[in-house]
Amino acid sequence: MKYYIIAGEASGDLHGSNLIKALKKKDAEADIRCWGGDLMQAAGGTLAKHYKELAFMGFLEVIMNLGTIFANIKYCKNDISNFDPDVIIFIDYSGFNLRIAEWAKQQHYRTNYYISPQIWASRESRIHKIKKNIDAMYVILPFEKAFYEEKHGYPVHFVGHPLIDAVENRKVIDEQTFRKENNLIGGKPIIALLPGSRKQEVKKMLDTMLSVTKDFPDYHFIIAGAPSLDNDFYAPFLTNPNVGFVANKTYDLLSVAHTALVTSGTATLETALFKVPQVVCYKANWVSYQIAKRIITLEYISLVNLIMEQEIVKELIQDDLTTKNLKHELAKILKGQAREEQLRAYDQLEMKLGGKGASAKAADLIVENV
């Protein structure tokens, strides 16, 4: 069969790549065309558009790039029509994907959604578009099934979280090898800095994250470079000899990290699955933040706290993300009771996520229901 998959971010590329592998195991004749990245291409998908061309963060940035966005929508519709797939699979990236889904349904394509739009966080009214335009939804967070089925009467499939498989199936590297490969001399414990994957957020996050390095000279701070950004972009942040950098090695870094400072998003959950205590950071431009604050109804912004329904990891948001606050919260989790409490909560978190095999479960359902 022919599958058309649309992912618009680095995390979608990861999950899309594992889905492609699972689809090819289930359907030996699978012909897969996709929007995604290097991982989806390496897994066997034919790349129609790279997510590096799509990454706009925040309301203001989207408005400033509307021309590009509309051009991508037009291109996508034409590309789908030319490929004529048996099923279209959307992965997160809701602003773009729900627009394509509405058109696709009108063209009588079968529409599947893997990794739900976060309508439980904001703009819940999008449920009407989902009900109308999505034939099958595969959710990865335990509370999403109740949200869709009990609150909105829309049946979904809970397949578990694909990050469990991504973390477990990674190529394991020991700390000595990691340090040698990345020229980390001295053996200081590592504090991982995960500032995000888009230029706008990385710039906002790193200045504050790096402002605490002078207060912790006994630790080595390592920036995780995102695959969506060139290494040269990070050069201005690497003037401190106690600050290092690794490109496209986030999982390797987390596997050896003592603690982490993490921009809110999928990375907070990845960090938890690696059992690394963390402080969650988030700061947007003022306009985007003011808009988001008025439409997002959640008590927490990190997936760790949302899933556990309590504050497991400290969240420093917008004006609370200061050097003083970050220094205080980081010191608390370097050792002692706060650190141990996070680690114990991580074990409970993993149990709630539904176990292994999310990609395989989703692929089975997609193939069987086409």
Task: Dump pLDDT digits (tens) for 198-243.
Answer: 888 898 899 999 999 999 999 999 999 998 889 999 999 999 999 9
pTM for the model: 0.80
How large a percentage of the chain has pLDDT more than 70? Answer: 93
Whether residue 185 has pLDDT greater than 80: no
Whether residue 286 has pLDDT greater than 60: no
Whether residue 323 has pLDDT greater than 80: yes
At residue 287, the pLDDT reads 53
Collect all residues with Cβ–Cβ distance below 8 Å to 357 and sequence separation of at least 6. Answer: 159, 160, 165
Name the CA dihedral angle for 53, 252, 219, 200, rounded to a multiple of 10 degrees.
Answer: 10
Q: Where are the domains of the chain?
A: 2-161+354-369, 169-352
At residue 200, the pLDDT reads 80
- Rounded-to-integer distance, Cα 284 and Cα 303, Å: 18
At residue 285 the predicted structure's pLDDT band, cuts being 50, 70 and 90, is: low
**The two domains 2-161+354-369 and 169-352 share their CATH topology (first three levels equal):** yes
At residue 212, the pLDDT reads 97
> Average of pLDDT values for 90-108?
95
Residue 155: how many other CB atoms lie within 10 Å: 10
Which segments of the chain are extended strands (E)? 2-7, 31-36, 46-50, 87-91, 110-114, 136-139, 157-158, 190-194, 220-225, 243-247, 259-263, 278-282, 314-317
Collect all residues with Cβ–Cβ distance below 8 Å to 268 and sequence separation of at least 6. Answer: 262, 278, 280, 302, 303, 304, 313
At residue 169 the predicted structure's pLDDT band, cuts being 50, 70 and 90, is: confident
At residue 332 the predicted structure's pLDDT band, cuts being 50, 70 and 90, is: very high
The tokens of 193 are what?
A: 């800095």
Cα separation values, 234 from 19, 85, 167, 198, 212, Å: 31, 40, 25, 12, 18
Classify domain 2-161+354-369 at the CATH topology level.
Rossmann fold (3.40.50)
Instruction: Tell me the longest C-alpha to C-alpha distance in the chain.
Output: 61
Q: Which of these CATH numbers, 3.40.50.2000, 3.30.360.10, 3.40.640.10, 1.10.3720.10, describes 169-352?
A: 3.40.50.2000
At residue 18 the predicted structure's pLDDT band, cuts being 50, 70 and 90, is: very high
